[in-house]
Amino acid sequence: MTNPNPSDGLERRFIVDGVELRAAGDETKPSIIAGYAAVFSQLSEDLGGFREQIAPGAFSKSLGEDIRALFNHDRNFVIGRNKSKTLRLEEDARGLRVEIDPPDTTDARDLLVKMKRGDVTGMSFGFRTMEDHWDEVDGKVVRTLIEVRVFDVSVVTYPAYPQADAAVRSLEEWRAKTAPPLPDYANLRRRLDLLGQE
């Protein structure tokens, strides 16, 4: 698989503080980073005119692909990979569960110290939408991710919900499909002119 191109529909979603993310371990056993990169059926913050939720099963088709665990989505800061069995991904009833066996490197040890102190507490996932559904609920536009292709999961410093260009383009397409057609003023003018000639 080639590296995903962020300008080619790649989106990222971040999980805010409070979602389980821990660094477990001591001197006698290696540390494990564990938590959820995504949770199901919970609405996001406003993503620029819409809110989003993830349907159970959205990740199931892509979990066997080559996925990396990163820090802050930096491709130069790899802390796990499912093909090397240092990253384990599983969909459970809550969402996309992640377990990472970080490497014994200076960068990874520094990250674990920051996590144990509570300085770094967020998780995120990078994905491309394969199938989604748009709807209007109580006057608010809601996007449901039905199927996504996951490229990476990431421990993040700033958990947030940034607006994503690919999602906004998808929102505009949905609005165009569901908007009532604009009146055909040229045809209406011709008809009025014909009526005036009678």
pLDDT tens digits along 127-169: 999 999 999 988 889 999 999 999 999 998 876 444 344 455 5
Positive or negative: CA dihedral 117, 100, 60, 143: positive
What is the pLDDT confidence band of residue 18, given thresholds at 50, 70 and 90? very low
Which of the listed ranges 79-88, 148-157, 184-193 does the model predict with the highest average pLDDT? Answer: 79-88
Domain-wise residue ranges, the chain: 10-197
Beta-bridge partner residues of 66? none
Which amino acid, one-letter code, is at 54? I
**Pairing, β 140-156 against β 68-71:** parallel
In angstroms, the CA 12 to CA 162 distance is: 8
Distances (CA, A) of 185 to 5, 46, 182, 188, 190: 42, 36, 9, 5, 9
- pLDDT (0 to 100) of residue 117: 84
Cβ-contact 129, 170 below 8 angstroms: yes
Which amino acid, one-letter code, is at 131? E
In angstroms, the CA 49 to CA 35 distance is: 29
Cβ-contact 71, 111 below 8 angstroms: yes
* CA-derived radius of gyration, the chain: 22
Query: Quick one: which H or E segment has residue 4?
Result: none
In angstroms, the CA 25 to CA 112 distance is: 10
pLDDT at 35 over 70: yes
Global pTM? 0.73
Longest alpha-carbon distance in the chain? 97
CA–CA–CA angle 189, 174, 67 (5° rounding) = 155
